[in-house]
Amino acid sequence: MKILVLGGTGLIGKAVSRKLTGAGHEVVIGSPSNGIDVVTGEGLAEALEATEVVIDLSNAASPDEQTALHFFRTAGKNLAALEKTAGVKHHVVLSIVGTDRATYIGYLQAKKDQEDYIKNSGIPYTVIRSTQFHEHMTTLIDVQGDETGVNISTVDYQPIAASDVVDFVVQIALEDPRNGTVEIAGPERARMTDFVQKYLDHTDDSKVLISNDENQYMFFEIPGDLLVPLGEFRRGRITFDDWLKAN
């Protein structure tokens, strides 16, 4: 089967591409460095020829609102039009748990737009909404902390290992289209403060965790349950402790 992996040079994309290639599929890695650009459209029509499955793991260069909106809206329009012409049988897009519950955050509005373009395109699809990755922990601490401390809210948190995300993306891409949304999350739910403290302890980081109940994430006010699935979801295998030991 020919599969186009957009964003195939990223954290998830590289591993998804390797796994699909190892399973015997013809994988085309879609990225500007490979002459395939979802925004300009360069090389996209050619890459879609005879493609049965598109896995969209592409991302904007910045989470800035205007950058993200431009990227996902332009890419969404290009993909919807060209995939329909090419006869793509399944479009899989990786999105974020809570996307539709906080569209006042520009990046989440952009991801919601990305989802909507494929939902309204007439192309068979599956949206995968994932919780935050274990690997995102260093960014969280860097953004919300300084040299001595890190300010973390007690919001609900259920992170997932990137390797579990890879497994789910591959599995779902090879299934029949859901024409709906599948949510994925890690095996453990707790307060965000609990996960961050574990990370600081494990890495012998001297930063002091400063806990608060302000329901904030990356300086945005959010619902306390925004970062966790509210209904059915597929549960990852790798616990945060196991991920810490392995990394």
Rounded to whole angstroms, the Cα distance separating 8 from 38 reads 12
Q: CATH number of the domain that 202 lies in?
A: 3.40.50.720
What pLDDT was estimated at residue 211?
96
Report the chain's mean pLDDT, rounded to a whole number: 96
8: pLDDT confidence band, cut at 50, 70 and 90? very high
Rounded distance between C-alpha atoms, residue 247 and residue 242, angstroms: 9
Which of 24, 44, 26, 32 lies closest to 8 in space, CA to CA?
32
Quote the domain boundaries for residue 111: 2-246
Confidence band (pLDDT; 50, 70, 90) for 245? very high
Total tally of structural domains belonging to the chain = 1
The H or E element containing residue 185 is strand 180-185
> At 28, phi and psi to the nearest 5?
-105, 125
DSSP 122: S
* 230 confidence band (pLDDT: 50, 70, 90): very high
Q: Residue range 65-70: average pLDDT?
A: 96
CA distance 125 to 92: 6
Q: How far apart are alpha carbons 151 and 116 in whole angstroms?
A: 34
Looking at residues 153-182, what average pLDDT do you find?
A: 98
- Read off the pLDDT of each residue in 208-237 and give the average, rounded to a whole number: 95
Give yes or no for residue 219 having a pLDDT over 90: no
pLDDT value of position 143: 94
Quote the percentage of the chain above a pLDDT of 90: 98
Q: What is the pLDDT of residue 73?
A: 96
CA atoms within 13 A on the CB side of 75: 28
Residue that is written with structure tokens 């050619």 in the block = 46
pLDDT, tens digit, 9 for 90 and up, residues 75-110: 999 999 999 999 999 999 999 999 999 999 999 999
